[in-house]
Structure 1
Amino acid sequence: MNILNNEIFENVTTSTANPPHNEFPIWAGYVSVIISVIFFGTNFVPAAKYKIGDGVSFQFFLCCGIWVTGVVVHIIVGNYYFYPLVIVGGVLWTTGNVLSVFVIPINGLGVSMLLWCTSNLFIGWASGHFGWFGLKAEKVEKPILNYLGVAIAVISGLIFLAIRIGKKEDDVFSIDSSQSPILNSSVEDIDNSNNPSNTTLRMRIIGYILAILSGVLFGLVFTPSTYIQDHHDQYKNATKNGLDYIFSLYTGIFFSSFIYYAIYIIMKRNRPYICVESIFPAFLSGIMWAIAEAGFIVANSVLSQAISFPLISIGPGTIAALWSILYIKDIRGSRNYIIFSIGTFIRIIAAVFIILSKPIPN
């Protein structure tokens, strides 16, 4: 990618440094996976009981929480280098999130999620494993187990798709992937999206394409930071500590969200939908999401995307479903419980295969 070699994206610092090395042991990578899965699966709980309307105002306040967390991490880590290229990853994530607003009313929430979760998982895993977009290919000791794990993970998503959620589906709590959008429709929108019978074939095809594109953008979020870590010859101050890239990534998320929100306000003629009660929960959700994303980027640095991406892509959906069963109570009935148990069991098998494939450090 020529753009990655452009001087405009060079590190803002020019001093030399020692070659990078993994600053965390392998076990820390798996701990990061666990933290990421728990927080991704839980981050919408603070906002689960509040209406968010079209979700655009909610996502802006959520992004405020993300950026503030990035500032705190930046101070704690103590590495004050700023990587402009990583901003691109934040813009990609926000753009994919905005696309979901158009996708859900066309295809329905379930089909849309299946498309973007699958494309997100595949792009994130494949770009690291095969070395796409200028990345160094990340090998595993047992590729067959890795392939099986990814395939089984995709199948488990199809199984979870069969779960029927009750009337509380407007509670912002229908995620099934770490990179799933935070923008959700209101009750009326979701009720209509589950029955898109009036949607023309042309519009549905457009919806499918946008959903896949959204997932692709989610899967590319970490490509800029991974590229920097893989090319120490171009970025002399690059390290293998994923936390060093958090502030740059979250800055990209915040400012791109601000731009999209400003456009939204203009389009709404200065009458945006804002539920005052959801502002602080959105901020808390942003903090929790930011912690999860920090765990994700550390896991990528330690384990490689070939391991961390499929693990973190399948885990949060199970945690979210547990919250829906035990707290939100919008998943009920023996049929749903059986489907959840089968899907969880299959995801455990997928995780075991992925872990047993074992990463090989570059």
Structure 2
Amino acid sequence: MHVFQDEITENITTIIANSTITPSPDPTTPIGIGYISVLISVIFFGSNFVPAAKYPIKDGLSFQFFMCCGIWITGAVINLIVGSPPFFPLVLIGGALWTTGNILSVFVITINGLGLSMLLWCTSNLFMGWASGHFGWFGLIAEQVEKPIFNYIGVTLAVLSGLVFLFINTGKNKKNIGEQQPILQSDGTPTINRFTEEESKMDSTLSSPKINIRMRIIGCVLAIISGIFFGLVFTPSTYIQDHRKDKYPTASKNGLHYIFSLFTGIFLSSSFYYLIYMIVKRNRPYVYIESILPAFICGIMWAIAEAGFLVANSSLSQAISFPLISIGPSTLAVLWSILYFKDIVGLRNYFIFGGGTVIRIIAAIFIILSKPIPN
């Protein structure tokens, strides 16, 4: 009887050891799910700031904090839905990078204005996110596509389309300064126009003939750094997915399993920056009460879009998903400005938007035709 029990114990130990060393592979996410996730991400990234577009947020730091609260709560719900997978502290870095880039964008806009800032950070974000996955930077496994030349053409056209959109002018006049209108965020998503009347005066001063060249250079550098931070948000989670066999045996290929870790990093870093902000403000932060609920809603919508982004990365690879999700939301944001907010008017702007959209459609076609190859 004792020998029989030892044999059972040995068999159980062997099974546990084998399962630990060689975990069962995750089911492959269909490519179709990846493109559906891209669509969801584009829709929610392109619309997530619409609920708060008419509320004053001044410097934006209080708004961002409450928005990050909504992001974290959404992440907690998603985490429960997917069965509370392991928490990976490394992914916290991605959340901190996103928050840091978002806060940098506040100062960049006041220095360089929206157009130049958007061009710089969108370009660096798109390139960093695409290149890190495609070439395997920062310890990632290089992601291959069946037709690399199509991928290169698509990414190039995506960047050029940003140059075209740069020439679109808004129809807001001076009496409307301070109203909140959706603009383009550093990762291609819309955000709220953080300009107050004082900030607009500062921007007009910087645009005068006596412009401080040193500040302009600093603004350009910060815009590029902000875009780089946005492009590296998914690097920690992708690194874990790429090294499941040798370093992270409990990790999953499912992008949703990293949502809670990423959003916790966003919440913690946002809380840290907000604490510093309150200390600088001597415990008198600017808080517009009516914008708190819209901030939560914006956070929920952004979180859904980011979840779609992670799923798309897992299914299609960053070489495909990053360019598509970088160019899609800004196009939708401009549509909101034309059809709903009415701050982009005139045939000239419509022709520019139409031309830029055609280029982006062609870019998307090339990117899709390059076809991802699963690692």
Find the aligned partners of 1:106 and 1:290 in 2 and give their Cα distance.
29
Q: 1:200 to 1:20 in 2, by over 3 A?
A: farther
Unaligned runs of 5+ in 2: 1-18
2:36 paired residue number: 31
1:173 paired residue number: 182
Find the aligned partners of 1:262 and 1:251 in 2 and give their Cα distance.
16
Unaligned runs of 5+ in 1: 1-13
Find the aligned partners of 1:73 and 1:185 in 2 and give their Cα distance.
30
Find the aligned partners of 2:248 and 2:181 in 1 and give their Cα distance.
40
Correspondence 1:1-362 to 2 at 5 A:
18-167=23-172, 170-175=179-184, 178=187, 182=191, 184-188=193-197, 189-190=199-200, 192-193=202-203, 196-197=206-207, 198-232=210-244, 233-362=246-375
Alpha-carbon displacement from aligned partner over 1:243-302 (angstroms, at most 9, x marks no partner): 000000000000100000010011011111111111100100000000000000100000
Q: How far did residue 238 of structure 1 move?
A: 1.0
Find the aligned partners of 2:84 and 2:21 in 1 and give their Cα distance.
14
> Quick check: 2:205–2:211 contact (8 Å CA) kept in 1?
no
Q: How far did residue 175 of structure 1 move?
A: 1.2
Q: 1:195 to 1:319 in 2, by over 3 A?
A: farther
- 2:372 aligns to what SS in structure 1? coil
Number of equivalent positions? 349
> Quick check: 1:95–1:217 contact (8 Å CA) kept in 2?
yes
Q: TM-score, normalised by structure 2?
A: 0.89
> Quick check: 2:58–2:194 contact (8 Å CA) kept in 1?
yes
Alpha-carbon displacement from aligned partner over 1:181-204 (angstroms, at most 9, x marks no partner): 846422422464366224311111
Alpha-carbon displacement from aligned partner over 1:3-25 (angstroms, at most 9, x marks no partner): xxxxxxxxxxx966625435420
> Quick check: 1:177–1:315 contact (8 Å CA) kept in 2?
no
Q: How far did residue 176 of structure 1 move?
A: 5.5
> Quick check: 1:177–1:317 contact (8 Å CA) kept in 2?
no
1:6 paired residue number: none
Q: How far did residue 99 of structure 1 move?
A: 1.0
Q: TM-score, normalised by structure 1?
A: 0.92
- 1:174 aligns to what SS in structure 2? strand
- 2:145 aligns to what SS in structure 1? coil
Residue identity matched to 2:91:
V
- 2:226 aligns to what SS in structure 1? helix
- CA RMSD across the alignment: 1.8
Question: Max radius of gyration: which structure?
Answer: 2
Find the aligned partners of 1:179 and 1:287 in 2 and give their Cα distance.
18
Find the aligned partners of 2:181 and 2:63 in 1 and give their Cα distance.
10
304-313 or 269-278, which moves further after superposition? Answer: 269-278
- 2:284 aligns to what SS in structure 1? coil
Residue identity matched to 1:284:
I
Alpha-carbon displacement from aligned partner over 1:129-170 (angstroms, at most 9, x marks no partner): 000000000000000000000000000001111111132674
1:11 paired residue number: none
- 1:239 aligns to what SS in structure 2? coil
> Quick check: 2:120–2:220 contact (8 Å CA) kept in 1?
yes
Find the aligned partners of 1:324 and 1:315 in 2 and give their Cα distance.
15
Find the aligned partners of 1:191 and 1:123 in 2 and give their Cα distance.
33
Find the aligned partners of 1:108 and 1:341 in 2 and give their Cα distance.
24
